[in-house]
Structure 1
Amino acid sequence: MTLAAMTWVISIVLCAVFIIVSIKMREKAGNSFFHFAIAGGTLPFFLVLFTDIATIMGVGNFVGHAAKGYEIGYANIPFVVGEQGAKILFALLFAGFAGRFTYITIAELMNDLLVRDRVSRAIIGILTASIMIAWIGGQGKGLGDLFAVFTGANPVPIIIFFSAVFILYTCIGGIYSVVWTELIQGGMIIAIALFFYYQVFAKVDFSLATLQARLEDVGAGHLAQMNLSLVEVLTLFVTGCFGILAAQVYWQRCFAAKDGRTASRAMFYSGIVAIVFTVLTTLVGLVAKVQNPGLEASQAMPWMIMNQMSAFSTLLLFTLVFVAAISSAASLLHSASVIIVNDLIRPFVPHKADRELVSYARLLVILVGIFSVTAALWADSIIGLFSLAYTMAGGGVIPVLLVGLLWKRQRSQAFAMGMQNSRLSPWGARIGLISGSVCSLTLGILWGVLVSAAVAILLSLFLPGSRTDAAETRQG
């Protein structure tokens, strides 16, 4: 059997397994929107840990960051440290806090605890959904690029076919099918990735000095230099960090965990895995540069797999990237559809029956999936998709969140569900969110963060919320 044929066989078998798992979870997920979205807040540590790992280590981390390593070398590391280190920061500062509650989205949390404003909630929903949608597109694009190399096929129908698979099993089983399939996928990712890194770095004697010397030999020694200004490093770090802190998929895993300690531990350990693996993947791009300096950057990882590995290793590594892509895409697709139902529909039509909300969520899985496939076909690069969404959402949502959490009405009173305890006002939140996002896209995320926080504080001082705003009951 040829490599292309075996690639198709493995892919189809794995897809069948994932769909069977989702069918078994269909009834459980359909019990209520609360169960479809966060499993009723009951997930144990091992499920939260492996779903975090499988979600984090998507195709962007295995293909996109290798491409950036091939293209800009060490200069990609500040973004990696910000993006992946944010998971550890999230674990230490937010995961335990989020795990105390059974909200469904970060927008719902901010609405209930901080601002009590449906418009702000909808804006946060749009911004956080943009990250999820960009990531889904990135998984599809990376998987299509990889399949094109492995099988010689046109990537467009491949992107469409495998997008249909993860759309189907996410639609059927909700978060239950996502976390149980990711238990399998997360274990496979760890095992195969370690095997891959060992094989790649053996080519440069496991030595950064050897890698640098060989880069010099091919005229690419500048890639081993951190030729960035302090502002550039800080911008890359903040873009990755704040983008992750605004990512619904991680907040949702915390809300789904059975308690705060479970959420914090799982995110902390998965964050360590993510930062180590993603830095190593950037270095894989540099090893590819040494081996073949004439590639297109997007082909760095596929070329390494196809041309520097044995046939058995190639199949294993294809399985790694395939599983990483499909697991992340399913998680992100689920989160995006949940955001739209919970923050853009539910607050404005609060009397909808629970079964109707589940139906809306399943329909939106399909619609968002189709939209994301279109984005994947349009985008020039995987990381470009991520960075744009990170910048917009991170620069708007996180400053407003921090202002709201730190600027309490009653300093001695802990945050509790159903009780607002923040001086943040509706207009402060609305304009802070929008101005931060716009400034981040036009002037850079550092300016966006400053503008967002300043506007939120100033407008909250001059346009404080009314008693009606403060007393508004939590929607949903």
Structure 2
Amino acid sequence: MRCFTVVLVIRIILQYSLLQKMALNIPGLVATIVFYVIMLATGIWAAWKTKKKEKNAKQSEVAMVGGRNMNIFVGLFTTAATWVGGGYINGTAEIVYLPTRGLAWVLAPAGYVLAFIIGGLFFVNPMRSKSYVTMMDPLQETYGNTMGTLLFLPALIGDVFWFAAILSALGATMSVILDIRGYLAIIISACTVILYTLLGGLYSVAYTDVIQLVFMMVSLWICVPFALLNSATESIYYTAVNEFYQVPWIGKLETNYLGRWLDELLYVALGSIPWQIYFQRVLAASSSRQARLTSYFAGFGCVFMVIPSVLIGAVAASTDWNQTSYGLPTPNERGESSMILPIVLQYLCPTYVSVAGLGAIAAAVMSSADSALLSASSMLAHNIYRKILRKKATEKEVVCIMRVSMVAFGAAAGGLAFYSHSIYDLWFLSGELVYALLFPQLFCVLFIPNTNTYGSAAGFLFGFLLRLLAGEPSLKIPPVIHYPGCSLVDGVYIQLFPFKTFTMLLTLGTIVAVSYLVAFLFKRNILPHGWDVCSVIKESEASVPLPEIDEQVGLQKI
């Protein structure tokens, strides 16, 4: 069956390339299909392993958190692979290459290190102590099912946007190197990821992550020397420090951009924590100590994996494109900076090397795409279906809903990937709502006692409104609130004030303030208990009339 599927895919692509008169890269196509077959085989083997695990644990928990028995080696690789996706690899090269950005604006590696360290220090123990299955469990437990459903939406949007961003990265890469339409790559890759994730759950995701990460490391590092030594490329050391060379790829941080730089760093560092794809690994570890160690070391793995992308971006910024078959104008002038990594592999490396680089991108995409898919479907099946829609659902029902939702979310992400203009923008936008709305909520339920549903709802609505009013150039939404430093650049308003972090902090403050204010008003009977529609005040907490004091004899009268 698998052989028939592979032959069918090859035949479709060959027929399509003939119709379109495209110069199909046959060796690259064969290598890519072999890689996909290896991923499918690994996923099927992991699915068989999952069946064995299900005999001793709940079927849904094995699919979602691996039966809470994942070894540290696999856990380390799959945790690092979670964030090392196509958007991370391609986006980093794009930012280093862009004349207006450069290495100084590559904040994701440092942000991920901080995120994994903060997560390991503060979030691992509270999440594991109560044996939660998803990140949404403590939110539902504290704020109720209705509010939990509302908070599920930014998490779902974040996962689908993340999936779309990395599929878009792969489509761009394959269109350059294999000379096929990007949407064919998106469709085939999405189907492959959906299939093996659907079959084996977290075990399929984890074991394929190991192969993907190793393949990615080897492939990208093979490509780097060829790109560096190409005759059309100037020394990247010279172009980094020489102020007379066009725009140094090292980048520059202007004083007036410091607020925005800090905002984006904090956005990556704190906004990378409230994701189910991270907590799935934390909750799947066999012990809290292992979960913390996995979190710490995964951050440094992300830094190591981004080095080839930084070097490739530097090479692109140091290349005289007129000396290559790509010619002029440059990729930036053509508006193709988002595809700079595959362009470098295609035009500055031999064919067989560029094919290896393509495999690295495919591995990066799959390693994150499967995690996002499993994350969204796990929360829908466990937190929405089991806890709200059908509380008596059987294990088979939950797993069935999980699999159906995988197909639906995968299709939605694939469709969205066709419309992304900048890989880095889409990747960055995927966490906007998660940072502004979910991080304050998760922080409150874990570390600030007695916050309640009223505070959660007020914080959610206020934070969403505040973020919307700040505008978003990528979505062509003009700002209503002009923060200090807001300026018009090339017809687009740019917010230099750290408004993302400001929005997050105001959301956090709103949750706490409204929670304690409402509780005080109900306990003091200033508001009648009949208005307490969320039932956050128990009868035992209601205010008891204070004892009266007889002024003459000093005796209490109740």
Give the TM interval when normalised to the shorter protein. Answer: 0.7 to 0.9
Cα 1:283–1:12 shift into 2, 3 Å: closer
Distance 1:152 1:384 in 2: 24
Aligned residue in 2 for 1:412: none
Aligned residue in 2 for 1:427: 454
Q: Percent identity?
A: 21
Q: 2:405 aligns with which of 360, 364, 385?
A: 364
Note the C-alpha offset of 1:24: 3.2
Note the C-alpha offset of 1:98: 3.3
Distance 2:88 2:284 in 1: 24
Q: 2:133 aligns with which of 94, 99, 104?
A: 104
Distance 2:50 2:401 in 1: 13
Unaligned runs of 5+ in 1: 408-421, 472-476
Given that residues 220 and 356 in structure 2 are in contact (C-alpha distance below 8 angstroms), is that contact kept between their aligned partners in structure 1? no
Q: Does 1:315 align with 2:355?
A: yes
Aligned residue in 2 for 1:305: 345
Note the C-alpha offset of 1:283: 4.7
Distance 2:48 2:397 in 1: 15
Give the letter aligned to residue 503 of structure 2: G
Distance 1:199 1:138 in 2: 28
TM-score (norm 1): 0.87
Larger radius of gyration: 2
Given that residues 105 and 261 in structure 2 are in contact (C-alpha distance below 8 angstroms), is that contact kept between their aligned partners in structure 1? no
Cα 1:267–1:189 shift into 2, 3 Å: farther
Cα 1:317–1:75 shift into 2, 3 Å: same
Given that residues 109 and 302 in structure 2 are in contact (C-alpha distance below 8 angstroms), is that contact kept between their aligned partners in structure 1? no
Superposition pairs of residues 253-268 of structure 1, within 5 angstroms: 253-268=281-296
Given that residues 93 and 312 in structure 2 are in contact (C-alpha distance below 8 angstroms), is that contact kept between their aligned partners in structure 1? yes
Q: Does 1:166 align with 2:200?
A: no
Give the letter aligned to residue 177 of structure 2: F
Given that residues 96 and 249 in structure 2 are in contact (C-alpha distance below 8 angstroms), is that contact kept between their aligned partners in structure 1? no
For the aligned residues, what is the CA RMSD? 2.7
Note the C-alpha offset of 1:79: 4.8
Aligned residue in 2 for 1:388: 429
Superposition pairs of residues 35-434 of structure 1, within 5 angstroms: 35-71=62-98, 72-112=101-141, 115-197=142-224, 199-200=226-227, 209-213=237-241, 216-217=244-245, 219-221=246-248, 224-227=251-254, 229-278=257-306, 281-292=309-320, 294-295=330-331, 296-348=336-388, 349-407=390-448, 422-434=449-461
Given that residues 128 and 247 in structure 1 are in contact (C-alpha distance below 8 angstroms), is that contact kept between their aligned partners in structure 2? yes
The alignment partner of 2:418 has SS state of: helix
Note the C-alpha offset of 1:377: 0.6
Note the C-alpha offset of 1:359: 0.2
Higher mean C-alpha deviation, range 174-183 or range 228-237: 228-237
Aligned residue in 2 for 1:414: none
The alignment partner of 2:387 has SS state of: coil
Aligned residue in 2 for 1:416: none
Note the C-alpha offset of 1:442: 3.2
Q: 1:457 aligns with which of 498, 512, 519?
A: 512
Note the C-alpha offset of 1:196: 3.8
Give the letter aligned to residue 6 of structure 1: P
Unaligned runs of 5+ in 2: 1-22, 322-329, 471-498, 523-531, 539-558
Aligned residue in 2 for 1:7: 28
Note the C-alpha offset of 1:215: 7.3
Query: Alignment length, in residue pairs?
Result: 453
Distance 1:302 1:24 in 2: 31
Given that residues 95 and 102 in structure 2 are in contact (C-alpha distance below 8 angstroms), is that contact kept between their aligned partners in structure 1? yes
Given that residues 119 and 430 in structure 1 are in contact (C-alpha distance below 8 angstroms), is that contact kept between their aligned partners in structure 2? no
Q: Which has the higher helix share?
A: 1
TM-score (norm 2): 0.75
Given that residues 149 and 384 in structure 2 are in contact (C-alpha distance below 8 angstroms), is that contact kept between their aligned partners in structure 1? yes
Cα 1:438–1:284 shift into 2, 3 Å: farther
Cα 1:208–1:463 shift into 2, 3 Å: farther
Cα 1:440–1:275 shift into 2, 3 Å: farther
Aligned residue in 2 for 1:418: none
Cα 1:432–1:99 shift into 2, 3 Å: same
Distance 1:85 1:193 in 2: 25
Q: 1:18 aligns with which of 39, 49, 54?
A: 39
